[in-house]
Amino acid sequence: MQAIHRRDLIKALLSTLGAGALLGPGALLAASERPLRILHVMSFDSPWRWTDGQLAGFKNGLALPSAEVRVLQMDVKHNAAPEAKAAKAAEARAVIAEWQPDLIYTSDDDALEYVTRPLAGGTIPCVFSGVNKTPASHGVQDAPNVTGVLEHEHFVESFRLLQQMAPDVKRLAVIGDQGIQWPPVIARIRASMSRLPGIELVSVDQVSTFAAFKQTYTDLAETADAVVQLGIFALKDDDGSNVPYQQVQRWIVENTTLPDISFWIDRVYHGVLASVTVSEHEQGLAAGKLARRILVDGASPAGLPMQPSVKGHPAINLSRAQQLGLTVKSSVLLSSEVVRGYQWEKA
- Which sequence spans correspond to the domains of the chain? 3-151+280-308, 155-278+312-346
A 10 A CB-CB count for 158 gives 25
Cα 102 to Cα 46: distance, rounded to the nearest angstrom: 23
Taking only the tens place, the pLDDT of each residue in 245-268 is 999 999 999 999 999 999 999 999
Is the fold of 3-151+280-308 the same as that of 155-278+312-346? Answer: yes
The pLDDT of residue 310 is 83
Q: Measuring CA to CA, how many Å separate 166 from each of 159, 274, 300, 306, 328?
A: 10, 11, 48, 36, 9
C-alpha distances in Å from residue 4, one per residue of 97, 124, 184, 298: 16, 7, 33, 8
> What residues does 248 pair with on adjacent strands?
none
Integer CA distances (angstroms), 306 to 42, 80, 112, 152, 286, in order = 19, 26, 13, 12, 10
What's the confidence (pLDDT) of residue 78?
86
* CA–CA dist 53, 109 (Å, integer): 16
- C-alpha dist (Å) from residue 7 to 37, 99, 102, 103, 136: 14, 18, 10, 12, 28
Residue 54 and residue 44 in contact, taking contact as beta carbons nearer than 8 Å: no
Q: How many CB atoms lie within 10 A of CB 327?
A: 11
Q: Which of 183, 323, 213 is nearest to 259 (CA)?
A: 323
Which amino acid does the sequence have at 22? L
Within its chain, how far is the Cα of 335 from the centroid?
24
pLDDT given at position 10: 44
Q: What is the largest CA-CA distance in the chain?
A: 75
Overall fold of domain 3-151+280-308: Rossmann fold (3.40.50)
In this structure, are residues 73 and 45 in contact, taking their beta carbons and an 8 Å threshold?
A: yes
Which pLDDT belongs to residue 8? 52
303-319 pLDDT, tens digit each? 999 999 888 899 999 99
State which fold the 155-278+312-346 domain adopts: Rossmann fold (3.40.50)
| Average pLDDT over the chain, rounded to an integer | 90
What's the pLDDT score for residue 30?
45
* 243: enclosing H helix or E strand: none
For residue 20, the model assigns a pLDDT of: 33
- Reading across the β-sheet that carries 274-278, which strands appear in turn? 200-206, 171-176, 226-229, 260-261, 274-278, 312-317, 337-339
SS3 194: helix
Predicted pLDDT of residue 6: 52
How many CA atoms are closer than 13 Å to the CA of 2, on its beta-carbon side?
10
Within the chain, which residues score under 70 in pLDDT?
A: 1-32, 347
Give CA–CA dist 39/149, Å, rounded: 17
What single-letter DSSP state applies at residue 242? B
Return the DSSP state at 209.
B
Q: pLDDT at position 146, please?
A: 98
Determine contact, residues 228/172, Cβ cutoff 8 Å: yes
For the chain, what is the radius of gyration of the CA atoms? Answer: 22
